[in-house]
Structure formats: C-alpha cells, structure tokens
Structure 1
C-alpha cells in the first residue's frame, strides 16, 4: 500500500523524541499547559481524529450518528462548542455546509477550520455520479470509505495537531504511524477478500463508495438515492431493474440507517438479494466498543459486501479491530 509522506514541518516536529508503540502509542512527552478542544463532524472522522489525538486533547463530535450528514442542521448548542474549540475537523467537499458556516461565524481568533477532503484530493480527482451529478457542482464527499484516502486524513490531523500542540508532536506522530500500520493490514485483507468475489459490482441506496471502487477495482452500477435525496421516478426504477438483470449482480445493498422500500421492491422484481445493513457514517456497536470505530465500520461494510456477493471474507474477519490510542471522543447520539 502507498504510504503518504508527511510534510516537512510534521517530520521535524515528530523527530524530537524517539517513541515506542505497543498496542497504542506512547512517548516521553509533557502535557501542554491546557488541553486542546477538538471538534469534528461525522462519526468516522471523529474516530480517525480520536485515534491520532488519543488522550492529549478532548474530541467532540457534532453530527449525531444515524443522521443524514448531507442535510444535517446543527443545533444552537453547537455554536457554543464551536466558539470554544481550538480546531474543527470537517470532511469538507461541501458535505457539512451548515456546520462549516456556523463554525466560520463562531470560531474565535486563532482557532482552525480544517476541511480534510479538500486537502486530500484535488478538483481533477473529484468523482461525480448518480447521487452527486456534476451539474450540481458538489462532488461525492465520501473519501473516508477508501482506506487509501482515510490514511491521508489521519496524516493531515497528525501534522495539524503537532503544530497546535508541539509538546505532544511525537505522540501524534507515533499514533499516526500505528494507525497507518492498521490501514496497511486492512488494505491487505480487503484485497485478499475481494479477490474471491466473482462479480465486484455495487448497487446501493446511496453512493458512498465511489472512491473505494476506483482504488479497489469495483464497479458502481447504480445508486437508488438521487441527488435531491428523493425517491427515483418509476422510469428510473425500471431502468435500474433492467440494469441489475443485465449486470447479473447477486445482491443489492440498502442502508441500515435509511431503509428504502423502493430498493427492496427493486430487489424483489429483479430477483436478487436485498441486503439492508450497509452504513457509511453510522458506526457499528456501542461507544467504547472496539468495533465502534472507523476500522470497525470498514470491516463491517466490506465483510457484508464480500459475503453477499459470493466471496470469502475470512481475511477481513480475522483482522484485529482496535484503536491505536485511547478513545477520548464524544460521539453525539
């Protein structure tokens, strides 16, 4: 797997003190005079940030799990959190516009607003598709479902936190290295499992896997949720049924959070299995569980896809699902 190269500023900050990683990351550092308050948006990003930040800052999520992040309007109480935060990590790519606008209005001087997706890919790498047509100007924002891009999120957070909290720069660097190793393991297990899938074609409720598909040689055949988040027209439904039959996919995938009677109907009429448990930003398990994490989410989704499409997910099921640093994140419910 390709490992991103840290920025020069991060490399210098991270090299001050040797570190040792045993399970989680540990280092000879001194606590800053005051713990930083870190705000995040959707739960997968909160989890990635918590793996880097560990117990050296307080991490607070904003978007409740099970909420449509594309249409989420933050409660007034979020303004108070944003006014106290030292940094806000968003996905960006126009995913959380109301939250970004609220942050711009309430962030205090010196606080940071970091849009991870915008720092990870360039405009010529944007993907537009069924749910995110180019005419609307909003690219598909779901970079975190692709481990090769999620590792870049972690690198950006580690570098940014090192600048904001130099006393713990080596700690953030160690956690990044440990997290990148976890992603290497996940990447290898995904490729081993996917090699057993006879037909790597996806039809989903919501197209949250476009970047993943590009990097892991899958084809996105269709998505039932159109760009305005309304049900498709009867003509669109008929076209999708014809496409499913033509592509000969054995299963189509719905969302555990947003049940889709239309997609269930399509599965019945096309004569394929309808699997309605995929998640793109709702973590499995309960807060405090190892699987209630970005890694747990990735394993859950890709085991589900692999097995429903006739593959062997043994390599994924054998992964040690773990956080590399103490999980101090607060996930809103």
Structure 2
C-alpha cells in the first residue's frame, strides 16, 4: 500500500448510521500501546480510546480476538500503524466496521515510500518495511498531527482542544529530540551502536546518527539458528560491541549466551511497545517509554543523560486511554 492509500473507507464493512450521538465522545480504536498513548494525548477528554494489542504481546504476530469485532463495529475511527504491521487486525476491521468509518494508517501516511527501511529483519523481498516509526520522535510528531487532523474532521467542535493538545505533544516530543541529541554527545560517535533483541530502532538510528549492528530476532521473529548465533558472536567480537540490549518483556537466553561468549554487557530492560509504569502513571506513556529507552541506551554505553533524566514525561490526555491487558 502506498502513502496515498493510508486512509481508506472499506466498502465491504458493516452498513448503517453512526451509533454516536451528539455530545458523546468519539470512539477510537487503536492497536499498539505507543499509538494508543499518542492518540489519547491528542484527543484528551473528547475521545474514548480502546487499544486492542495487549502490552507485552508481539505486535507482528498478534491475531485479534473475535471480541475485537465489536470494538470495530462501534468505532467512529480506527487508527493503526500500517506499514504491514497489523494485517490480520486490518482485515478484521475492514470486515466488521461501519462502511463510513475510516481506517487511518499513521505510519504509512507519515513515511514516504522512498524512505522505507528494509533490513535483516524486514527484507525487501518480503514486501514489509520496518514499521517502528514511533521510536523516532520526529515521526511521532507526524503521527500526532495526522490524528489531530482526522479528529478535527470528525469533531469540528473539538478543533481547539485537538490543536492545543497536539501543540503540547509536539513541544514534548521536540524536547525529547533535543535531550537525546544533547545527551548522546557524551558518547563518541563510533560508540553509538545498537545490538538489540528486536529490530525496533532503525528509523531512530537513521535520524540520530546511530548504527544498528543487528537484532536477535530474524525475519520470522523466532530465535535465530545456531549458525546465525555464531555469526552474531563473530560480529560482536569483530566490531567490539560493548553492550547487548535485551527486553524486559521478551527475555532471551540467546542474548545472554552471546554476552557471555563475547564479554559484552547484557542489559535486558528495553521495550519497544510495552509502556513502563502502571496505567495512570506519567511514565505509562509514549513519552515515558521513549525517555526510558534512550536514557537506558546512552547510560549503558557509558554516556551520561542529564537532559533525559530531568525530562517531564507528563502527557495530557494519556489517562483517557484503555490498553488491552
């Protein structure tokens, strides 16, 4: 799907008049938690957000339960990441939503096709680009601006709320960008390298001048073969990688093995779509997630991150989101 097809109205969906009454909140359905957080921050108290993908679940292999059909049927708008991340969810949405309801692909609309990243986990021959735009705050800004425009079209009376809340989100995302750029200067440029449990930071790396050495999950999102492990061990030794970044949500004995074999430090706390903290806490947000990850990366690699440590992660509207558990 091209960027021009990022917003679509499926003709085969359920027909009928919109169920929302005047004065009721917009019913918004989303997928992964970072998107849910961004959308809730833009919509604030004028929307009810239902995030379908439970935190800690692999979003690439997630199959929506039958109960998701009800959420789609009642939705006023459906936001997904796109870029082929949620194909089963998109298919169910197209079958069960009302025919007047848009499915908005935020990632597909934000990323021109020439800027797609294909790599070891997302080879070009499979036709699925790396979808993890939300880990780059410059793209998160584009997500928020797209959400603002869509919500304003559906709810013109809320235009001022959506405009002001988006301005607040953009200011916070820009502050995050500035903090990352300032704090990463504590690391020599040749030490800004990432070997991670999951290939989630490719767009961040391109924007901020980091290098992704590799990711432990290959294209089928299963553990690598013994031959691939040997190749990673050789690469870590050859390139003198200091830190291997694992996941708190998806522990990996393979990464531990590579760390022990090479002497690289194994840090197993990163997250790409599982928000830190508990619902209702400031850290339980897109901004809290990104601050946590990049603070962890810079300090684990031997740098210091005072700007990230003092970054305010309170996001207005985030408490209006409901995340699948």
TM-score, normalised by the number of residues in structure 2? 0.91
Deviations 1:268-307 (A, max 9, x none): 1011101111100000000000000000000110011011
* 3-state SS of paired residue (2:45): coil
Picking from 129, 136, 153, the partner of 2:126 is: 136
- Name the stretch that deviates more: 57-66 or 235-244: 235-244
Asked whether the equivalents of residues 285 and 318 of structure 2 are also in contact (C-alpha less than 8 Å), the reply is no
Distance 1:181 1:38 in 2: 24
Picking from 246, 249, 262, the partner of 1:254 is: 246
Asked if 1:124 is matched to 2:114, the reply is yes
How well do the aligned residues superpose, as a CA RMSD in angstroms?
1.1
TM superposition shift of 1:34 = 2.4
TM superposition shift of 1:209 = 0.1
Asked if 1:63 is matched to 2:53, the reply is yes
Deviations 1:164-205 (A, max 9, x none): 000101110111111111011111101111111231000011
Picking from 279, 286, 309, the partner of 1:287 is: 279
In the alignment, which residue of structure 2 is the partner of 1:146? 136
Runs of at least 5 residues in structure 2 that lack an aligned partner in the other structure: 1-20
TM superposition shift of 1:56 = 0.4
TM superposition shift of 1:241 = 1.1
* 3-state SS of paired residue (2:195): strand
Distance 1:326 1:242 in 2: 44
Distance 1:109 1:69 in 2: 26
TM superposition shift of 1:32 = 5.0
TM superposition shift of 1:115 = 0.4
Asked if 1:306 is matched to 2:306, the reply is no
Distance 2:139 2:89 in 1: 22
Distance 2:29 2:285 in 1: 17
In the alignment, which residue of structure 2 is the partner of 1:15? none
- Name the stretch that deviates more: 130-139 or 199-208: 130-139
Which residues of 2 match residues 177-256 of structure 1 at below 5 A?
Answer: 177-198=167-188, 199-256=191-248
TM superposition shift of 1:321 = 1.0
In the alignment, which residue of structure 1 is the partner of 2:310? 318
Q: Which portions of structure 1, spanning 4 or more consecutive aligned residues, are displaced by more than 3 angstroms? A: none
Asked if 1:113 is matched to 2:99, the reply is no
Runs of at least 5 residues in structure 1 that lack an aligned partner in the other structure: 1-30
Give the number of aligned pairs. Answer: 303
Asked whether the equivalents of residues 251 and 268 of structure 2 are also in contact (C-alpha less than 8 Å), the reply is yes
Query: Cα gap change, 1:55/1:35 in structure 2, threshold over 3 Å: closer, same or farther?
Result: same
* 3-state SS of paired residue (2:220): coil
TM-score, normalised by the number of residues in structure 1? 0.89
Picking from 235, 243, 255, the partner of 1:263 is: 255
Distance 2:129 2:175 in 1: 29
- Name the stretch that deviates more: 228-237 or 296-305: 228-237
Picking from 138, 152, 156, the partner of 1:166 is: 156
Distance 1:331 1:269 in 2: 39
